[in-house]
Amino acid sequence: MKQTLITLVEDKPGVLNRISSLFRRRNFNIESLVVGHSETSGVSRMTIVANEPEASKRGNIYFNLLKLVNVIAVKDVSKLPCISREFILIKINIGPDQLNEVNAIVKQHGARIVDMGTETLIVEATDEESTINKLISVLQPYEITEIVRTGEIAMRRGKTHKVSSEKINAKVGDISWKPEHISSYQN
């Protein structure tokens, strides 16, 4: 079962290395990992997707992340209502006689052409993983020369619950977070 974790971390050098090392040491595979700035200065947001069939191991991933020094909060959203998306750029070699055909396919899948050269074009799409996979398979008969794809990003539906901390409005250099103590894993 895929496990999707939204993790808030301090925006400091070495944090990504600590998290990836945790997965490596515990022999867990990261299926995708996307990191970017959050709405709070000095805090980055990670969406981590792991594919772990055993619930106890999913719990281990969750609790081990919470123990890391630079981790502020972890939320397992695997079974919660979320909006999740991936982004992809696909470069295709095409001839002038194929342009209309490819353009129709691209529009049918909610994508768009963002660059058109004399011999290539670049398609951009943002959607769920399954839709992105369908787009790739439909474009396979054409000569795909490059694909750049992000991992999954996810956001819970409904009200946002702020992470509580006395340092939430501290200067970036003064941030020293302590994750909340959680003793049970629900997913």
DSSP letters for 82-98:
EEEEEEEEEEEE--GGG
Q: Give Cβ neighbours of residue 101 (< 8 Å, ≥ 6 apart).
A: none
Instruction: Give the pLDDT band of residue 69 (cuts 50, 70, 90).
Output: confident
DSSP SS3 for 102? helix
* Cα–Cα distance list, 60 to 4, 106, 127, 141, 152 (Å): 14, 41, 30, 43, 21
| Paired residues of 112 in beta bridges | 124
**Average pLDDT over the chain, rounded to an integer:** 85
- Asked whether residue 179 is assigned to any structural domain, the reply reads no
Max CA pair span of the chain: 62
Answering whether pTM is above 0.85, one says no
**Average pLDDT of span 133-139:** 96
Tell me the per-residue pLDDT of 77-130, one tens digit each, with 9 for 90 and over: 988 899 999 999 999 999 888 999 999 999 999 999 999 988 999 999 999 999
Q: Is the pLDDT of residue 180 over 60?
A: no
Higher pLDDT among residues 179 and 134, named by residue: 134
- Asked whether residue 105 is assigned to any structural domain, the reply reads yes
The helix/strand count (H/E) of the chain reads as: 4, 9
8 and 96, same domain (yes or no)? no
Higher pLDDT among residues 31 and 171, named by residue: 31
58 and 102, same domain (yes or no)? no
Quote the pLDDT of residue 178.
43
The CATH number covering residue 72 comes to 3.30.70.260
Where would I find the H helices in 2-122? Answer: 15-25, 55-67, 99-108
Q: Return d(Cα 187, Cα 179) in angstroms, integer.
A: 19
Q: Is the pLDDT of residue 168 over 60?
A: no
Tell me the per-residue pLDDT of 15-34, one tens digit each, with 9 for 90 and over: 999 999 998 998 888 999 99
Task: Kindly report the backbone phi and psi dihedral angles of residue 94, in degrees, each rounded to the nearest multiple of 5, phi listed first.
Answer: -140, 160
Quote the pLDDT of residue 172.
47
Number of domains in the chain: 2
Quote the pLDDT of residue 179.
44
Domain that holds residue 8: 2-81+158-174
Q: Is the pLDDT of residue 43 over 50?
A: yes
76 and 88, same domain (yes or no)? no
Q: Is the pLDDT of residue 9 over 50?
A: yes
What one-character-per-residue DSSP string does 60-72 give? HHHHHHHHSTTEE
Quote the pLDDT of residue 60.
87
